Structure formats: structure tokens, C-alpha cells
């Protein structure tokens, strides 16, 4: 860490760079919500998100998914290859919930019948396959963007966009099947991708943490359609002690 130079502070991480160009992320205990309007700190939160990210990056790499990940420096640092972050992030949803439900219910968004499946549509129902959305990343308030805007703005080539979608589905399937065995439903998740110096697109930032995923307790959902949050919603909605919830998630995932 000595030889690394401080670059900048993000909302949750501090960013340093080694002389060889590698990035060191220091995961802090900071938590923010509502575009940074609500802020707090919770003990061990940084170390938990860092450890979980490293666990998932190693698992995904073992499955052949290219990522920026290089090394875990316990307890709360992650070394990564520097990439140029794409200006859109991907949100993949497996359930009709949160802002997706709100927009759908208000008639602002059309979701294909095939994705919704048969029967009555209600908040929290599972989708038949993942529903992907892209949102801007470098605007003051992030907003959803269409495929046409992504390609038209030159943010990604058509082939790259298709690749990012496929990769996101693959990543989601890997996370989901592992998590369900640990009593966690992956309701939705966010990914960031970047362009490496070689020009290829790799998974970047953090993955599979309760900061960037919506996790629900499986038993409560299946037995009584009760949504017990195991993620940052606990902070957004003031539903309890984030440190305790994050510790529980970490124990379930890593054992
Ligand atoms: P933010 O306030 O943007 O959420 P974070 O606290 O999450 O920031 O810090 C991580 C920042 O570093 C994010 O802006 C993310 O896009 C960026 N980033 C992630 N991975 C890489 C990488 N490999 N190279 C360069 N920047 C990255
Ligand atoms: Mg972030």
C-alpha cells in the first residue's frame, strides 16, 4: 500500500493506484442511499463487501468470466486492473419489485407477457427470465437508457452491448444458483463493466455484495411471501442494524 498514490474517494470506496497502474480499492464502512442524500457508517461493512466481492470475482473467473480482479488484501482492500468504466451500468432483475414494479404498475413501462409469466401481477412476483436495464452512471441523477441511446451515443458497439447482456445473464445464473442453496434469493443486482487496455470488456467494480444486490431471505419469501431484506434496503428503509444484517449475509455465503 505504501507505494500506492491516492486517486479519489467514491461514495463507498477510496481509490489508490500503484506505480504499475493497478488500482487498489479500500472498501470503507460508509453507506449512502438516494443518490447520496442519506449517509451513515456501519462497522465491518467495508470488510464484508470487500471479502464477498473477492469471493465472487474468484468464482466468476474460475467460470471463465473476464474481470478486473487481481488480488484480495484482507481485510478490506481489493487490487484490480485499471479499466475505463463504461458510462452505463446494468441492472438485472429476477423479480417484479422496487422501481420496476412502481413503473410497471403506473403504466410507465411495458414488460413482455412472456417475461411476466401467467397469472396475476403483483409486487415481488418472480419473472420467467431476467429483465435487464441500463442506467447512466456519470450523470447527477442516474436514468434508464435504451439500447439505441447506448449505441447511438457510442458508449458501446452493438456487439459489445449484446456481449454485456449475455455476460450479465451468465453471472446472474452463477450467483443465483449458489445463493439459493445458502437460503438467499437474488431479487436483483447491479453490475459495472469497463474496457481494459487491451480493448476488451471486463466485469469491474464490485459484485455480489449486499450493497449492489437485492437479497431476500428464501424461507420467509417461500413460506409467507414475506420480504426480509438482507441488503442495503435495511438502511434505505430504516429496518434495522446494517452491520448485523451484512454479517449474517457474509456468514450464509462464505460459511
Ligand atoms: P461511486 O461513488 O461511483 O459508487 P465507489 O465508492 O463505488 O464509487 O468507488 C468505486 C469507483 O471506481 C466507481 O466510480 C467505479 O465505477 C470505479 N471503478 C470500478 N472498477 C474500476 C477499475 N477497474 N478501474 C477504474 N475505475 C473503476
Ligand atoms: Mg459504487
* CA-closest candidate to residue 209, choices 39, 16, 67, 12: 12
CB distance 245 to 231 below 8 Å = yes
CB distance 243 to 43 below 8 Å = yes
Q: What are the residue ranges in the chain where pLDDT is below 50? A: none
> CB within 8 A of 39, min separation 6: which ones?
30, 31, 32
| Per-residue pLDDT reduced to its tens digit, 97-130 | 999 999 999 999 999 999 999 989 999 999 999 9
Query: Residue 89 in 3-state DSSP?
Result: strand
Give the residue carrying C-alpha cell 458497439.
157
pLDDT at 139: 87
Closest residue by Cα to atom 20, ligand 1, is 205
What gap in Å lies between CA 50 and CA 106, rounded to an integer? Answer: 37
pLDDT at 78: 98
Is any atom of ligand 1 closer than 6 Å to the C-beta of 172? Answer: no
Is any atom of ligand 1 closer than 6 Å to the C-beta of 23? Answer: yes
pLDDT at 140: 81
| Per-residue pLDDT reduced to its tens digit, 152-193 | 999 999 999 999 999 999 999 999 999 999 999 999 999 999
Ligand 1: residue of 13, 21, 37 to mutate (most ligand atoms within 8 A of CB) is 13
pLDDT at 177: 98
The CA 223 to ligand 1 mean position distance, Å, reads 38
pLDDT at 141: 83
Is any atom of ligand 1 closer than 6 Å to the C-beta of 82? Answer: yes
pLDDT at 96: 97
| Domains assigned to the chain | 5-80 (3.30.200.20), 84-242 (3.30.470.20)
Amino acid at each position: 500500500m505504501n507505494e500506492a498514490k491516492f486517486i479519489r474517494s467514491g461514495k463507498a470506496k477510496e481509490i489508490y493506484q500503484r506505480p504499475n497502474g493497478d488500482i487498489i480499492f479500500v472498501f470503507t464502512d460508509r453507506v449512502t442511499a438516494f443518490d447520496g442524500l442519506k449517509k451513515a457508517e456501519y462497522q465491518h461493512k467495508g470488510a464484508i463487501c470487500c471479502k464477498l466481492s473477492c469471493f465472487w470475482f474468484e468464482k466468476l473467473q474460475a467460470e471463465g468470466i473476464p474481470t478486473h480482479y487481481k488480488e484480495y488484501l484482507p481485510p478490506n482492500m481489493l487490487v484490480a486492473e485499471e479499466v475505463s468504466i463504461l458510462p452505463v451500468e446494468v441492472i438485472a432483475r429476477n423479480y417484479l419489485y422496487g422501481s420496476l414494479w412502481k413503473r410497471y404498475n403506473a403504466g410507465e413501462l411495458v414488460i413482455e407477457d412472456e417475461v411476466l409469466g401467467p397469472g396475476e401481477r403483483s409486487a415481488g412476483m418472480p419473472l420467467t427470465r431476467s429483465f435487464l436495464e441500463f442506467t447512466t452512471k456519470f450523470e447527477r441523477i442516474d436514468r434508464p437508457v435504451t439500447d439505441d441511446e447506448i449505441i447511438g451515443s457510442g458508449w458501446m458497439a452493438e456487439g459489445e452491448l449484446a456481449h454485456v447482456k449475455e455476460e450479465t445473464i451468465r453471472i446472474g445464473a452463477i450467483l443465483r444458483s449458489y445463493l439459493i442453496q445458502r437460503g438467499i434469493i437474488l431479487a436483483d443486482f447491479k453490475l459495472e463493466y469497463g474496457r481494459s487496455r487491451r480493448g476488451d470488456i471486463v466485469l469491474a467494480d464490485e459484485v455480489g455484495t449486499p450493497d449492489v444486490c437485492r437479497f431476500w431471505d428464501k424461507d420467509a419469501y417461500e413460506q409467507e411471501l414475506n420480504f426480509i431484506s438482507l441488503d442495503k434496503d435495511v438502511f434505505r428503509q430504516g429496518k434495522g442494524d446494517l452491520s448485523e444484517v451484512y454479517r449474517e449475509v457474509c456468514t450464509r455465503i462464505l460459511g
